[in-house]
Amino acid sequence: MVVRNMEPSMTTHNPAAAFFASPAARGIAAVLRGLHRVSPALGTRLAMGLFFTPVPTKWLARSRAVPRPWVERQLPFEGGHVSVWQRGDIEPGRPKVLLTHGWAGDAQQMRALADTLAADGFEPVLLDLPAHGRSSGWRSNLLQWVRAMFAVTARFGPWDGVVAHSLGAMALMFVCIFVVADVPMGWIEQGAAWLSEQITNRMAESNFRSLITDGVIAGVSGVVIFLPQILILYLFLGFLEDSGYMARAAFIMDRLMSRVGLHGKSFIPLLSSFACAIPGIMATRTVENRKDRLVTILVAPLMSCSARIPVYTIMIAVLLPTASLLQKAGIMLSMYMVGIVAAFGMAWLFK
């Protein structure tokens, strides 16, 4: 692999950085602060709406033509589409590299680096994440970005490398917890099955054999199988801490989390608990205060992890068979919201 230093002229200007430093952004912040003093509920609602809306708007990114030899492909996604950029002059068989932008960015920001990778023998793939660039939608969030990366990986992957920036890197973290960890988790599962089979073939049927195969091996493997996810999560948490990103996320979320008695650093463990509560609980090591760490551990299992989705789906299908698709989707969302409200309520009670 050849690594080249990019000249300053090769980098693409990020309009979001200019906007956040502009008088317009300071004016919006002042208006929201004044509105919050008059009506906290209205001010909070408008602020949250802006929080999930990429600023500046996508008009600038949509107005740019797709430069040759790049080709835009639209992948259907959640009632809209995400735009995936590929070069039309690259022969198949090269190592594939996915490049993702950050919040309020677009694929054009990563194009200079992608051209450099193409010159070095790779096949770069650019992605406009939901509500960004030429993709559909005007509001998005981290969980939707994770789902979009899963969809793009299933259609255009697998990847030999990924380059991610800012919030795109955080979305990649949750994708890796599932995709990358799936391989060693399969090894653990197969190893436990092989060991149980060997003991079953070599020992006579007895309660002691059942204790070993159904108790010890099944029980230990049921816990150890989460080890790859925990190790990957720890690796990314180390990157986030060393880069200063964790401190920024904690600072941004501290005011909101403090209303229910949680520290800003509890945000990442609770967010991780939507994937699995075990890595989420392990991630609480970043919370220095013992009481805050204990409260986060206690409420993390209340978040709806991915293992509960089949249970929710079956319950909705059995209990409400005549409900429309929109009603079923609303009930599923309500179940997630009940978990969040319960977690925040219990956190406030524990504190």
Helix (H, G, I), strand (E, B) or coil at 157: coil
Parts of the chain with a pLDDT under 50 = 1-12
On whether residue 68 sits in a domain, the answer given is: yes
Strand-by-strand arrangement of the 96-100 sheet: 70-77, 80-87, 123-128, 96-100, 161-164
For residues 111 and 86, membership in a common domain is answered with: yes
Please tell me the number of Cα atoms within 13 Å of 156 on its side-chain side.
27
Query: What pLDDT score was predicted for residue 318?
Result: 80
Residue 199 lies in a domain: yes
The total number of structural domains in the chain stands at 4
Same domain, 255 and 160: no
Q: Which residues touch 209 (CB under 8 Å, ≥6 apart)?
A: 199, 200, 203
Pair (146, 194) in one structural domain? no
pLDDT at 17: 59
Q: Say if residues 103 and 109 touch (Cβ distance below 8 Å).
A: no
pLDDT for the residue numbered 311? 80
Same domain, 67 and 139: yes
162 alpha carbon, distance to own chain's centre = 14
Query: What's the predicted TM-score (pTM) here?
Result: 0.59
Domain range for 92 is 59-170
Domain boundary, last residue among 131, 154, 170: 170
Bridge partners of 123, per DSSP, are 96
Q: Is 244 inside any structural domain?
A: no
65 in the same domain as 136: yes
314 part of a folded domain: yes
d(CA 141, CA 102): 12
